[in-house]
Amino acid sequence: MPASAQQDSPAGAEAFARFWLTTLDYGYATGDTAVFLAAGRCAGCVDLADGIEKIYAEGGSIQGGQLKVLDTRVDRHVIGKAAAVELYYSRAQRVVVDGKGQRFVDRAAPRLGLFVVLTRANGRWQVDRFPVID
């Protein structure tokens, strides 16, 4: 985790949201979701991690689909408590191969958005939820 992502500041919240998305990207590519879950144990985080882990545990894989941060903007920051970050990213085409060898293709998405809500506890950020921005 970058040092900037540990700061209790608007810039720190943005850096943490970017870091969180890179940990999700790593989870998709490898099946290892430990770092992703360390950054946020919200229900949505757990559901995503469970889905990724299931694909890999059943002998499947996720090919491509790299996530790339395009832009971030802090909507709100409350010192010592919380922050909300608009995070926009792109996703390359992704092919999910299940344990039976069946392929599912997700087309590339040039611009997707999440409203990443962070909470601050024990001197660090955690993802609380991440609703989709339409």
DSSP 95: E
Token output for 21 = 């998305």
Q: Which domain holds residue 100?
A: 3-133
Q: Is 105 exposed, middle or buried (0-12, 13-18, 19+ CB in 10 A)?
A: exposed
Say whether pTM exceeds 0.85.
yes
The number of beta carbons lying within 10 Å of the beta carbon of residue 10 is 16
Q: Quote the number of domains for the chain.
A: 1
Closest CA to 22 of 116, 95, 98: 116
Looking at every residue in the chain, the average pLDDT score rounds to 97
Please answer whether residues 114 and 133 qualify as being in contact, where contact means their C-beta atoms are separated by less than 8 angstroms.
yes
Instruction: Give the separation between CA 100 and CA 110, rounded to whole angstroms.
Output: 30
For residues 43-64, average pLDDT = 97
pLDDT digits (tens, 9 = 90+) for 72-116: 999 999 999 999 999 999 999 999 999 999 999 999 999 999 999
Q: What is the CATH number of the domain that holds 50?
A: 3.10.450.50
Token output for 82 = 């919380």
